[in-house]
Structure 1
Amino acid sequence: MDHLGNDLMIPFIYASNNENGYRCALNLRDYNCVPELLLLHPLGKGKMQDEIRSVFPDVPCVYWGSDLKTLEDDYGVDLSSLILLSINFGYLFNNRDLALFRDAWNLHIGYLPWNRGSNPNVWSIIEGTPAGVTLHRISEKLDGGEILKAERVDVFSWDTGYTLYFRLVSKSEEMIQYIADLLHERESLKSFLPDSPGSFHCLRDFEEVKLINLDSVDSFKGFIDRVRALTFPPYKNAYFLDENGRKVFVDIVLSPEDDLE
């Protein structure tokens, strides 16, 4: 890994959650990008919060739910000098919040404008849309801000939602070098708006697609794509209802021929 030196860096606040937020935190540290503040989900409502804090043990940590403007008085920071960097952070910033910062970026595990919103790994498999990772400016429109950089990730016929997700996480880790270059002003900041509306999915769409209607007519491909997209151990996602109304969960195991040789 090409570590950056300890030269001047644009200060930033790191808002993150979950596996991807933790792994990217490790990579930020490796590139000498230490935030001024950590912004995490409310206590008890986040994932891997202790792990993220352990990456930056000396950095003050705040939890979502208070007026962001108060951070200036509470922690002696000038928010207008900070970049807001969000990775897997699950809360929305409004225009009043965004106006506080020098700039605001989000790293989304979807290839924008495709699969804005939730579970982009699932929809790339079900709908055959491009998969990838996108660094974009945050706006009030979810995943709708100007794109700074986007990288494609292949979707294979044997992928599940699980395997594709972790390949997207790996691509997110790779994207940290570009983010570090921006923070160290070793890369010029360029952005653009996509020329296509792409696609959007909310959590309700995900909940609805989990129920398989055994009386519906579909191709074998459509059925397999749906089940593999929803296969994400240890979670139980795809299911059908038996004659007693019980949920019967369905996962799938896929092995390409090359792996069997």
Structure 2
Amino acid sequence: MALEAVFLGMNDAGEKVYSWLNDRDDVEVKALLTEKEQLPLIEEIEPDIVVSSGFEYKVPKEIIEGPEQGIVNLHTSFLPHNRGSHPNVWSIIEDTPAGVSIHYMTEEIDEGPIIDRKEVRVEPSDTAGKLYDRLQNEMFELFKENWPDIKEGVEGEEQTGAVTTHYERELEEISELDLSEKVETGEFLKKLRGLTWKPYKNAYFEKYGERYFVEIDITPESELNPGS
């Protein structure tokens, strides 16, 4: 008998997972919810499981505790590192492990028991945008690998180790570049890499009453065309 599921949120990985689940015979996705106001529908539908990917709002305890097999959340960080917003940015700026994690949702953001996780190497040429794209693909692959266990109600393991958490407002707080500040080259490069995420305009400095936006592009020698 197919599981009844609700899908919560939508990002690049979520779009792939949602489409993949809809093509399967062992699960029936009853609804796709992307807005906070839609959360009460979960109580009406009474699904066996909820899968969340990129949902931007905190889910109340009574909703979390409703589905028999819980809410499975897909988070693009190597938990417990970089809970919260923009983990691809902070992995570069703070030089913390990057990766993808599947965990059960609890009341606190990204703190629930981990079903599985995978560390992803950050390349010296990575920007937040490049890393984001790679993490989204890795997230989809990790979910597919773990689906047989997830649908059987696998238990997660409590998170242990160093914890970092970031919030939406922090990205704006670090985006202005102070032209008078003296910084180490390596730290400055990490900041520019972490703030380069097309199509967004993040890093900037102000001069003559106007904002000038800054991006960085780093190319490994191995990727240069011969003779260029």
TM-score, with length taken from structure 1: 0.80
C-alpha deviation, 1:156, in angstroms: 0.3
Residues 69-114 of structure 1: CA distance to partner in whole angstroms, max 9, x if unpaired?
A: 6752xxxx3x2x5211101111111111112221111000111000
Q: Distance in 2 between matches of 1:66 and 1:24?
A: 20
The corresponding residue for 2:21 is 28
1:240-251 aligned at under 5 Å gives the runs 240-242=205-207, 244-251=208-215
One-letter identity of the residue aligned with 1:93: V
Q: 1:147 to 1:184 in 2, by over 3 A?
A: closer
Q: Distance in 1 between matches of 2:42 and 2:185?
A: 55
C-alpha deviation, 1:195, in angstroms: 1.9
Task: Please say if 1:84 is aligned against 2:60.
Answer: no
One-letter identity of the residue aligned with 2:224: L
Q: Distance in 2 between matches of 1:174 and 1:70?
A: 26
Q: Is the 8 A contact 1:27 1:176 kept in 2?
A: no
One-letter identity of the residue aligned with 1:24: V
Q: 1:93 to 1:85 in 2, by over 3 A?
A: same
One-letter identity of the residue aligned with 2:29: P
The corresponding residue for 2:12 is 19
Q: Is the 8 A contact 1:15 1:84 kept in 2?
A: yes
One-letter identity of the residue aligned with 2:61: N
Q: Is the 8 A contact 1:137 1:148 kept in 2?
A: yes
Q: 1:202 to 1:82 in 2, by over 3 A?
A: same
Residues 226-246 of structure 1: CA distance to partner in whole angstroms, max 9, x if unpaired?
A: 11111111211100111x232
Q: Distance in 2 between matches of 1:29 and 1:182?
A: 18
* Paired residue secondary structure (1:38): strand
One-letter identity of the residue aligned with 1:101: P
Q: 1:88 to 1:157 in 2, by over 3 A?
A: same
The corresponding residue for 2:67 is 101
Q: Distance in 2 between matches of 1:13 and 1:27?
A: 14
Residues 204-237 of structure 1: CA distance to partner in whole angstroms, max 9, x if unpaired?
A: 1111111111111211111111111111112111
Q: Is the 8 A contact 1:161 1:230 kept in 2?
A: yes
Task: Please say if 1:130 is aligned against 2:62.
Answer: no
C-alpha deviation, 1:26, in angstroms: 2.4
Q: 1:247 to 1:184 in 2, by over 3 A?
A: same
The corresponding residue for 1:40 is 34
Structure 1: state its 5+ residue gaps. Answer: 1-7, 42-63
Q: Distance in 2 between matches of 1:67 and 1:250?
A: 39
Q: Distance in 2 between matches of 1:66 and 1:173?
A: 25
C-alpha deviation, 1:34, in angstroms: 3.5
Q: Give the alignment's Cα RMSD to 1 decimal.
A: 1.8
The corresponding residue for 2:3 is 10
Q: Is the 8 A contact 2:52 2:74 kept in 1?
A: yes
TM-score, with length taken from structure 2: 0.90
C-alpha deviation, 1:197, in angstroms: 4.2
Aligned partner (choices 164, 176, 180) of residue 143 of structure 2: 176
Q: Distance in 2 between matches of 1:15 and 1:116?
A: 18
C-alpha deviation, 1:135, in angstroms: 0.5
Q: 1:228 to 1:194 in 2, by over 3 A?
A: same
Task: Please say if 1:208 is aligned against 2:173.
Answer: yes
